[in-house]
Structure 1
Amino acid sequence: MAGNGTTAAMRDFVARHGLDGVPHTVDTDGSLWAGFGVRGQPAWVFLDRRGRSTVVFGEIPEADLRRRLDAIAAA
């Protein structure tokens, strides 16, 4: 979810980093971020199939990110 920027900036970031395989949304007023307790970037919100969220602040090593995403996909 992009925040603190424009829709165009988010689309550019997604394209540059090859992230077009997952859903994205733009949080122009900060309400989505606030709902998850996100205070700034970098932050990650992982949602499972039941809608339960886990928020991680800071950078995530690639291996940990893959582990988290694989666990969500397998659930």
Structure 2
Amino acid sequence: MNTATRWAIGAVGLGVLLAGCASSPGDIAPSEPGTSTTTSAPATSASAEPESPFAFEAATVAGGTVDGETLRGHDVILWFWAPWCPTCMVEGKEHVADAIARMPEGVEFVGVAGRSDDFAAMEEFLEWTGTGDATHVADVDGAIWEAFGVLQQPAFLFVNDDGTGTRAGSGLSAEDIVERAEELASS
């Protein structure tokens, strides 16, 4: 499957997951730190149902694999980062590591390391930031990022078990992340 086809499938999948967004899928990083957009999935007919953005299988940085479909129907936070991203490094160390340690029961936190095939750099990133207690998948070719419409990092996608989602870019504190996780867990 070529890049244009994967992008088109991902854009349709994101549209189902995040239909009604005020911004385009590429506008992951809001203009003000910590702002986000709430969306819900529309009803679709069975014959027109696009491929889910969760339709992936990826290697984890730690050496296992994750089947993305196992995340669908659950409360999950996806954190899109890159090992060469200085903003990701700082936010990971100063905010995300603390939030991971305080995740409420029933909410899974999954990091999506993208746009790199350097597993050593990914491992170093996790060690330096202290975020290695969560599952982190390696999105070497950017296909998972594309499926969710992520064009820049860091970015967060907060997905409720009913398929509704909220996305945010850079600027979330540990408190912001944990508060949103608690909202997922309680709904």
TM-score per shorter chain, which class? 0.7 to 0.9
> SS at 1:14's partner residue?
helix
* C-alpha contact 1:41 1:57 (8 A) present in aligned 2: yes
How big is the shift at 1:41? 0.8
Q: 1:50 to 1:9 in 2, by over 3 A?
A: farther
Is 1:70 matched up with 2:166?
A: no
Identity of aligned residues (%): 32
| Count of paired positions | 75
Q: How far apart in 2 are the matches of 1:43 and 1:50?
A: 21
Q: 1:14 to 1:41 in 2, by over 3 A?
A: same
Q: How far apart in 2 are the matches of 1:63 and 1:34?
A: 28
Structure 1 unaligned regions, length at least 5: none
Structure 2 unaligned regions, length at least 5: 1-111
Q: 1:12 to 1:49 in 2, by over 3 A?
A: farther
> SS at 1:66's partner residue?
helix
Cα deviation code 1:23-55 (max 9, x no counterpart): 100101111001111011111123444565432
Q: Partner residue of 1:4?
A: 115
Q: How far apart in 1 are the matches of 2:133 and 2:182?
A: 14
Please list, as runs of the form range in 1=range in 2, the aligned pairs for 1:1-75 lying within 5 A after superposition: 1-5=112-116, 6-49=118-161, 52-73=164-185
Matched to 1:17, the amino acid is T
- The structure whose RCO (Cα within 8 Å, separation 6+) is larger is 2
Coordinate RMSD, CA, aligned: 2.0
Larger deviation, residues 22-31 vs 47-56: 47-56
Q: Larger strand proportion, structure 1 or 2? A: 2
Q: How high is the TM-score relative to the length of structure 1?
A: 0.75
